[in-house]
């Protein structure tokens, strides 16, 4: 018997009980549909969190001093030469195509004071042109500009919460005290921009200024804390990290700087995503398992009520494996139709939510954040590459598993049953 015949028979057999078949196929569609949209929303939310975390933090991939994370109480810097050499590597053609931007930063902690108040801050020395278009702060400026104007007094940009706390506004003067070597240095700054990201920590703690001003303030001429590398999305992070790491290893003698992915740089966020994904997989796995039980039930019923037919087919010379193939074809068609319908519906809603987003603000506590990264209440559906392929593989395995037992049962029918009047 040809495979085409197995499918033709399977298809016709399915329509012997149209209602049963449709209900089962519908349940399967629903399972696939839910799987696609929950993957879409999960991936969308995660990608947004990564994006935010990466843009407010140190990029998808970061080049930093090798010992940066080994000792916490001591700050480490890339020398001007090292930073320049690393940047040159990033300009190679294959990397340039994947990299959206590279931002050198100098980090320092300090105390920011106004006439009224003072508070501890994290200072980021940045190159404004390099930040614009890739990182978050330039986009979130609500007053003034992002370090565009300069005057005799160096400029700074602070968060709205910090401005409130210090009681300062655009044009106000503030004093930054930082450690320079063993001394404490004071630097007068003028507030030329105020940003508001909606992230409490960022708006209260983060201060940005031009990198050369900060280098001067801490007396570290040309020093850079890290090079933040930004990509178009998080998918190629590992690929870029590996390429950059390879080049750096080859291009540096002595102590090469280390290259970290965002997962290594922000382990809490990476962990949250892994755990959240695992929860989703478990939920969807259980759901699809139940749907597969429905398929098993339907096919098994169809098989048990057709013993007579199988014994007839065996009597006239069909082989048991051909009977099994016929039953599997039937099950394949049932799950296939269900999968296609579920896929089309799921993909459509995913495509709609990818553009219009789904607003969870009603269901979310105000300002939910994970590992310091805020979760946007509007989730834009997004599917990582390979999601559909893996969904199809998973569903095919489930369908196959569900049809195995009925197929074996059918194949084991005795041919002599055909003669029982």
Partner 1 sequence: MPDELAVRTESIRKIYQSGDQSVAAVDGISFEVHKGEFSAIAGPSGSGKTTLLNLIGALDEVDEGRIWVDGTEITALGRGERADLRKHKIGFIFQSYNLIEVLSALENAEFILLLQGVDPAERQRRVRAIFERIGLDGLEDRRPHQLSGGQQQRVAIARAIATQPALILADEPTANLDSATGAALLDVMEELNRDLGTTFIFSTHDPRVMERATRLIRLVDGRIVEDH
Regarding 408 and contact with partner 1 (CB under 8 A), the answer is: no
Q: Smallest gap, in angstroms, from Cβ of residue 337 to partner 1?
A: 17
Which CB sits closer to partner 1, 173 or 308? 308
Answer yes or no: are the C-beta atoms of 241 and 58 closer than 8 Å: no
Regarding 264 and contact with partner 1 (CB under 8 A), the answer is: no
Which CB sits closer to partner 1, 197 or 298? 298
Answer yes or no: are the C-beta atoms of 137 and 210 closer than 8 Å: no
Q: Smallest gap, in angstroms, from Cβ of residue 407 to partner 1?
A: 17
Regarding 13 and contact with partner 1 (CB under 8 A), the answer is: yes
Q: By CB under 8 A, what part of segment 314-373 binds partner 1?
A: 314-320, 322
Answer yes or no: are the C-beta atoms of 103 and 59 closer than 8 Å: yes
CA atoms of 387 and 45, how far apart (whole Å): 15
Answer yes or no: are the C-beta atoms of 199 and 29 closer than 8 Å: no
Q: How far, CA to CA in Å, does 352 sit from each of 191, 235, 382?
A: 42, 22, 10
Q: Smallest gap, in angstroms, from Cβ of residue 324 to partner 1?
A: 13
Which CB sits closer to partner 1, 316 or 355? 316
Answer yes or no: are the C-beta atoms of 51 and 60 closer than 8 Å: no
Q: Smallest gap, in angstroms, from Cβ of residue 331 to partner 1?
A: 16
Per the DSSP assignment, residues forming a β-bridge with 121 are 110
CA atoms of 214 and 5, how far apart (whole Å): 77
Q: How far, CA to CA in Å, does 274 sit from each of 74, 269, 270, 355, 375?
A: 31, 9, 6, 25, 16
Q: Smallest gap, in angstroms, from Cβ of residue 322 to partner 1?
A: 8
Which CB sits closer to partner 1, 85 or 301? 301
Please give the structure tokens belonging to residue 60: 């998808």
Regarding 412 and contact with partner 1 (CB under 8 A), the answer is: no
One residue of 6, 9, 78, 240 binding partner 1 per CB under 8 A: 9
Upper half-sphere CA count for residue 363 (Cβ side, 13 Å): 6
Q: Smallest gap, in angstroms, from Cβ of residue 341 to partner 1?
A: 23
One residue of 1, 22, 111, 396 binding partner 1 per CB under 8 A: 1
Which CB sits closer to partner 1, 147 or 324? 324
Contacts of 105 (CB under 8 A, 6+ apart): 58, 124, 125, 126, 211, 224, 225, 226, 227, 228
Regarding 18 and contact with partner 1 (CB under 8 A), the answer is: no
Q: By CB under 8 A, what part of segment 125-154 binds partner 1?
A: none
Which CB sits closer to partner 1, 148 or 322? 322
One residue of 123, 313, 334, 407 binding partner 1 per CB under 8 A: 313
One residue of 2, 116, 182, 366 binding partner 1 per CB under 8 A: 2
Which CB sits closer to partner 1, 101 or 415? 415
One residue of 173, 250, 308, 356 binding partner 1 per CB under 8 A: 308
Answer yes or no: are the C-beta atoms of 139 and 72 closer than 8 Å: no
Q: Smallest gap, in angstroms, from Cβ of residue 298 to partner 1?
A: 16
- Choose the stretch contacting partner 1; rule: CB under 8 A; options: 12-20, 32-40, 77-85, 101-109: 12-20
With contacts defined by CB under 8 A, how many residues of the chain interact with partner 1? 27
Long-range Cβ pairs for the range 318-325 (8 Å, 24+) = 318/1, 320/411, 320/412, 321/411, 322/1, 322/6, 323/407, 323/410, 323/411, 323/413, 324/407, 324/408, 324/410, 324/411, 325/1, 325/3, 325/6, 325/407
User: 166-204: buried (b, 16+ CB within 10 Å) or exposed (e) per residue?
Assistant: bebeeebebebbbeeeeeebebebbbbbbbebebebbbb
One residue of 3, 7, 12, 102 binding partner 1 per CB under 8 A: 12
Regarding 304 and contact with partner 1 (CB under 8 A), the answer is: no
| Residues contributing to the site for partner 1 (CB under 8 A) | 1-2, 5, 9, 12-13, 15-16, 308-309, 312-320, 322, 414-416, 418-421
């Amino acid at each position: 018997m040809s495979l085409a015949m197995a499918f033709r028979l399977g298809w016709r057999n399915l329509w012997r009980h149209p209602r049963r078949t449709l209900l089962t196929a519908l349940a399967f569609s629903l399972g696939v549909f839910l799987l696609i949209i929950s993957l879409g929303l999960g991936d969308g939310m995660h990608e947004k969190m990564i994006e935010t975390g990466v843009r407010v933090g140190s990029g998808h991939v970061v080049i930093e001093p090798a010992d940066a994370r080994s000792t916490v109480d001591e700050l480490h810097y890339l020398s001007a030469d090292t930073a320049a050499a690393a940047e040159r590597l990033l300009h190679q053609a294959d990397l340039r195509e994947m990299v959206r931007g590279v931002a050198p930063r100098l980090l320092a902690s300090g105390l920011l004071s106004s006439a009224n108040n003072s508070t501890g801050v994290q200072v980021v020395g940045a190159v404004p042109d390099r930040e614009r278009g890739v990182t978050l702060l330039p986009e979130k400026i609500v007053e003034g500009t992002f370090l565009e104007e300069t005057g005799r007094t160096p400029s700074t940009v602070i968060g709205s919460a910090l401005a409130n706390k210090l009681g300062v506004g655009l044009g106000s003067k503030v004093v930054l005290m930082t450690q320079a070597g063993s001394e404490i240095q004071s630097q007068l700054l003028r507030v030329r921009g105020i940003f508001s990201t909606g992230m409490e920590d960022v708006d209260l703690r983060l201060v940005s200024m031009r990198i050369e001003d900060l280098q001067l303030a801490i007396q570290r001429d040309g020093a850079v804390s890290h090079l933040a590398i930004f990509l178009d999305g998080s998918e190629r992070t590992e690929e870029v990290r590996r390429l950059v790491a390879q080049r750096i290893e080859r291009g540096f003698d002595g102590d090469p700087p280390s290259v970290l992915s965002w997962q290594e740089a922000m382990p809490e966020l990476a962990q949250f995503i892994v755990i959240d994904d695992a929860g989703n997989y478990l939920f969807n796995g259980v759901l699809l398992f139940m749907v597969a039980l429905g398929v098993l039930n339907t096919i098994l019923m169809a098989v048990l009520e057709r013993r007579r037919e199988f014994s007839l087919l065996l009597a006239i010379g069909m082989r048991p494996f051909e009977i099994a193939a016929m039953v599997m074809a039937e099950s394949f068609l049932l799950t296939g139709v269900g999968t296609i319908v579920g896929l089309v519906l799921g993909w459509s809603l995913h495509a709609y939510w990818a553009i219009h987003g789904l607003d969870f603000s009603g269901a979310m506590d105000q300002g939910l954040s994970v590992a310091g990264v805020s979760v946007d209440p509007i989730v834009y559906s997004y599917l990582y590459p390979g999601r559909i392929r893996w969904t199809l593989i998973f569903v095919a395995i489930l369908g196959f598993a569900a049809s195995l037992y009925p197929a074996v049962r059918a194949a084991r029918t005795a041919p002599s049953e055909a003669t029982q009047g």
